[in-house]
Amino acid sequence: MTGVNDTRSPDSRRRSERSRRAIHEAALALVTEIGYGRTTIEGIASRAGVGKQTIYRWWPSKAAVLMEAFLDLAEQTAEGVPEGAEPEIPDTGDLAADLRLVLRATVDEMNNPVFDAPARALAAEGVIDAGLGAQFVEKLLEPQLQLYVRRLRAAEEAGDIRPGLDHRTALELLVGPITHRWLLRTLPLTHAYADTLVDYALYGLAPRD
Amino acid sequence: MTGVNDTRSPDSRRRSERSRRAIHEAALALVTEIGYGRTTIEGIASRAGVGKQTIYRWWPSKAAVLMEAFLDLAEQTAEGVPEGAEPEIPDTGDLAADLRLVLRATVDEMNNPVFDAPARALAAEGVIDAGLGAQFVEKLLEPQLQLYVRRLRAAEEAGDIRPGLDHRTALELLVGPITHRWLLRTLPLTHAYADTLVDYALYGLAPRD
């Protein structure tokens, strides 16, 4: 709606953008309050103060509204990342420091109720509903995991990790434990925990002799 | 009901045991088919062919029935473990081999629909419902994680892992990634994946030089 081929007037575009934001916020609020299953297009429209035809015109399904609302939320909560910029994991040449930075930011996000509540509701539904889960992974999760793949590939080129590792699996040593604590609420998610994970994953549990 | 102080006749104990099994199976089937939220004590009783007072006499809540049903299921699906035996992680002196064995068994369990479907339903509910999640962690998950803590402690004593590690965090490098793949269904859970996780967690991603 806001792409380069948009020929509408600035006023019309502003109104559309305002409606889109309201719809995103309504969708996230509803999924948090009543769960994915009971959230409906009608409910989102009513809460956002728009006609439901507005939603049907822009999105093919309830899942599609929510996925876009999440992408929008993730952009808003990713502090310091310029709008529209690809949020790459930094490469300062210090792999451990770069990973600590991104894992600490992940911990902060998981501890932030604005992100936690709707993300938890959507993740729980994806655990049960394989179709929704697949969309969740493809649209939201896997693109984030690929940032780690790219950073690890650069690390391999720099000689900072062992050659020949499967980077897609390797990143799970960082992301898997944090997600485990987040979803199952086993123990607190802290910066110290993030730092420890980076240390253990990079340097291994076995003695280095 | 079947403890050492049970003074009922053998016939009565057999009937009780049969009812208990039927109730467990009904609870697991219902939570799989209609989810935790819509499963009721009445529904479990009806499906198990017992009066609901039988259930109320033995368990304080729906959650309690399900937790016990799961413990029962886990015992049944843990092949080769004698009934009632504490299912310790083996200690053959080869830490990597012992961890591969237990992670491969975990992969098999997660790929087994008899375990997967009800475990997934209960885990999803725990993601949303913090109270149920806490029970799930305390009764089912944490006791299993403590098996890893004990095996890693023995490994430290044997000099097979670095001294001074936080064993409760270290085990998450193995259990976290597998749970991530299981719950979010990102990529296949295979024995090769389990083996790779053990290699990466023990020997680290950084070069060993």
- Decide: A152 and A161 in contact? Cβ < 8 Å: yes
Among B106, B120, B172, the residue to mutate for chain A (most A Cβ within 10 A): B172
The CA distances from residue A22 to A17, A54, A56, B96, B127, in Å, are: 9, 12, 15, 53, 27
Nearest CA in chain A to B143: A186
Measured between CA atoms, how close is B77 to chain A, in angstroms?
22
Please calculate the CA angle B54-B59-B60 and round it to the nearest 5 degrees: 120
**In the predicted model, what is the mean pLDDT of residues B65-84?**
74
Question: What is the tens place of the pLDDT at every residue in A159-175?
Answer: 999 999 999 999 999 99
How many angstroms separate the CA atoms of A57 and A46, rounded?
16
Has residue B10 got a pLDDT over 80?
Answer: no
Q: Say if the Cβ atoms of A141 and B200 lie within 8 Å.
A: no
For residue A133, give the chain B residue with the closest CA.
B184
DSSP letter (8 states) at residue A189: -
**Token pair 């009543």 in the structure block, residue:** A34
Residue whose C-alpha is closest to residue A173's, from A155, A156, A196:
A196
Pairwise CA distance, residues B144 & B77, whole Å: 14
| Among the partner residues A161, A186, A207, nearest to B207 by beta-carbon distance | A161
Residue B86 has pLDDT above 60, yes or no: no
Q: What is the DSSP letter of A111?
A: T
Contact at CB, B207 and A159, closer than 8 angstroms: yes
- Nearest-CA distance from A74 to chain B in Å? 19
B31 and B116 Cβ atoms separated by less than 8 Å: no
pLDDT digits (tens, 9 = 90+) for B146-195: 999 999 999 999 999 999 999 999 999 999 999 999 999 999 999 999 99
pLDDT tens, residue by residue, B16-58: 889 999 999 999 999 888 888 889 999 999 999 999 999 999 9
Distance CA A46, CA B93 (A): 64
What's the CA gap between B77 and B71, in Å, rounded?
Answer: 10
Cβ-defined contact of B180 to A172 (cutoff 8 Å): yes
Which residue among A161, A169, A176 places its CB closest to the CB of B176? A176
This model of the complex carries an ipTM of 0.86
**Can you give the pLDDT at residue B85?**
56
The predicted pLDDT at position B81 comes to 55
Alpha-carbon distance B193 to nearest alpha carbon in chain A (angstroms)? 8
C-alpha to C-alpha distance for B47 and A147, rounded to whole angstroms:
49
Count the residues in chain A: 209
pLDDT at B6: 59
Please indicate whether, in this complex, the C-beta atoms of A177 and B178 are within 8 angstroms of each other: no
| Neighbour-count burial of B83, counting CB atoms closer than 10 A to its CB (0-12 exposed, 13-18 middle, 19+ buried) | exposed
CB within 8 Å: B184 and A35: no
Which residue, A97, A200, A15, is CA-closest to B172?
Answer: A200
How close does chain B come to A33, measured CA to CA in Å?
Answer: 11
Interchain CB distance below 8 Å, A193 and B169? yes
Helical axes A172-184 vs B172-184, angle rounded to 10°: 70
The stretches in chain A having pLDDT less than 70 are: 1-7, 77-86
Residue B110 CA neighbour count, 13 Å, CB half: 24
Residue of A nearest to B182 (CA): A127
pLDDT at position A196, please?
98
Separation CA B139–CA B71 (nearest Å): 9
pLDDT at B63: 86
- CB within 8 Å: B128 and A35: yes
Determine which of B99, B157, B184, B187 to mutate to test the interface with A (most A C-beta atoms within 10 Å).
Answer: B184
Q: Domains along chain A? A: 1-65 (1.10.10.60), 78-209 (1.10.357.10)
